[in-house]
Amino acid sequence: MAPSTQTLPALVWEGGLSVAVRDVPAPEPTEGFALLDVAYTGLCGTDLHICAGEHSRAQPGIVIGHELVGTLAEDAGDLRAGQAVFANPMMHCGTCDACSRGLVHVCERLRSVGIDRPGAACARVLVPAGGLYPLPAGLALVEAALVEPLAVCVRALRRSGCAAGERVHVVGGGPIGCLLALLARDAVAAPGSGSGSGAVTLSEPSATRRALADGLGITTVDPERPAPTADVVFDATGVPTVAASLGRWARAQARVVVVGAYPPVPSPVDLLRVMFAELSLVGTRIYTREDITAAIELVASGRLDLGRLVSEIVPLDEGVRAIEALRAGSALKLLVAP
């Protein structure tokens, strides 16, 4: 059978700093993949790195978008067409040492929709059939669109060992940083003590983003001013130069959790501070099935009121403007509705 000549508009990184909405070949049924009609795709810091040519794997011409939620365009296993699903965009090799130990989320050859394969900033996308999660009936897809970044934060919080009564500091006031602060607030609250918001702080150089975080009820601080040190410090910036200053937020024997690290270049770390204060450096990468399931349950519970994080929902033809808004730091979370 000859391949289809049908095309669909998509948000494409064309190389350098150039992003455009242009037609791409429509995806066709492929073994091991499921066709998804995209409801929303979230844009994040990784997309900005891709669209700046800073991602080591993404190639010009790639359709971006790896935070995706939608409905199945065709039956997939036991799931019927029309079922609302979250799709894990990640693909593991199954043969490396990590995969052989069941640690597929840290696969040595991990690949992703929106980076290595066409992404979800398009009306229809192919997603790994083994990564489909049916969503509860009635769950608003606009909130389910935040499952992917929330799962990242669930994983990071678990890796941190954060416990009731501890102090937490988050470096970076983007969506991941704000989600971490909201999750940590519950984790450190002692029974009967209320929200525990005083035990969690967030530093962010942008006054605009500090104001956005303040609006979510997060206690923010200016990074240029002294702040109390914490038992757990999350680096949610994805800015390599921040690594050298993380120790200033950490008290003795604190855990410093690296959540974002792009572009992949060596970062300076104050190893003397790590040694003298007996700090623990903790890495965390994406999420496991358990983290995704927990994130879906959190979204469905309504406890976090995630809709507050969404600055704007834009149609696909305004995708370039959305990228520019993220670059300018004038928005928190932007969703594209293809």
pLDDT tens-digit map of 121-152: 999 999 999 999 999 999 999 999 999 999 99
% of the chain surpassing 70 pLDDT: 95
Q: Is 92 a catalytic residue?
A: no
For residue 246 the two structure tokens come to 């993380």
Bridge partners (DSSP) listed for residue 134: 85
Query: Over 70: is that where the pLDDT of 192 sits?
Result: no
Could you tell me the pTM of the whole model? 0.94
pLDDT at 227: 74
Would the pLDDT of 4 be above 70?
Answer: no
pLDDT, tens digit (0-9, with 9 covering 90-100), for 219-261:
999 898 877 899 999 999 988 888 889 999 999 999 999 998 7
Q: Does 7-145+305-337 carry CATH code 3.40.50.300?
A: no
pLDDT at res. 198? 47
Tracing tokens 């959540």 back to the chain, one arrives at 259
pLDDT of amino acid 1: 44
| Average model confidence (pLDDT) across the chain | 93
pLDDT score at 225:
84
CA dist., res. 279 & res. 302, Å (int): 35
Instruction: Compute the radius of gyration of the chain from its Cα atoms.
Output: 20
Whether the predicted pLDDT of 85 surpasses 50? yes
34 has pLDDT over 60: yes
Are the beta carbons of 286 and 155 closer than 8 angstroms? yes
Residue 206 or residue 2, greater confidence? 206
Marked catalytic residue, from 7, 41, 49, 220: 49
Return all residues near 315 (Cβ < 8 A) that are at least 6 apart.
336, 337
* pLDDT score of 3 more than 60: no
pLDDT at 311 exceeding the cut of 80: yes
Encode pLDDT of 294-304 as tens digits.
999 999 999 88
What's the pLDDT tens digit per position in 250-278? 999 999 999 987 776 778 889 999 999 99
Say which of 5, 30, 46, 92 is annotated catalytic.
Answer: 46
Residue ranges per domain, the chain?
A: 7-145+305-337, 151-283
Q: Active site includes 105?
A: no
Nearest by Cα to 256 from 248, 266, 267: 248
Q: What are phi and psi of 12, to 5 degrees?
A: -120, 135
CATH class of the region 151-283 = alpha beta
Distances (CA, A) of 215 to 154, 187, 209, 218: 22, 20, 10, 7
Q: Burial of 229 by CB count in 10 Å (0-12 exposed, 13-18 middle, 19+ buried)?
A: middle
Under the banding of pLDDT at 50, 70 and 90, the label for residue 191 is: low
Q: What pLDDT shows up at residue 193?
A: 47
Residue type, 83: Q
ω into residue 29 within 30 of 0, thus cis?
no
What's the pLDDT band for 194 if we cut at 50, 70, 90? very low
Give the 3-state secondary structure of the chain. CCCCCCEEEEEEEEECCEEEEEEEECCCCCCCEEEEEEEEEEECHHHHHHCCCCCCCCCCCCECCCEEEEEECCCECCECCCCEEEECCEECCCCCHHHHCCCHHHCCCCEEECCCECCCCECEEEEEHHHEEECCCCCCHHHHCCHHHHHHHHHHHHHHCCCCCCCEEEECCCHHHHHHHHHHHHHHCCCCCCCCHHHEEEECCCHHHHHHHHHCCCEEECCCCCCCCEEEEEECCCCHHHHHHHHHHEEEEEEEEECCCCCCCCCCCCHHHHHHCCCEEEECCCCCHHHHHHHHHHHHHCCCCHHHHEEEEEEHHHHHHHHHHHHHCCCCEEEEEC
Residue 195 has pLDDT above 90, yes or no: no
Residues β-bridged to residue 85 = 70, 134
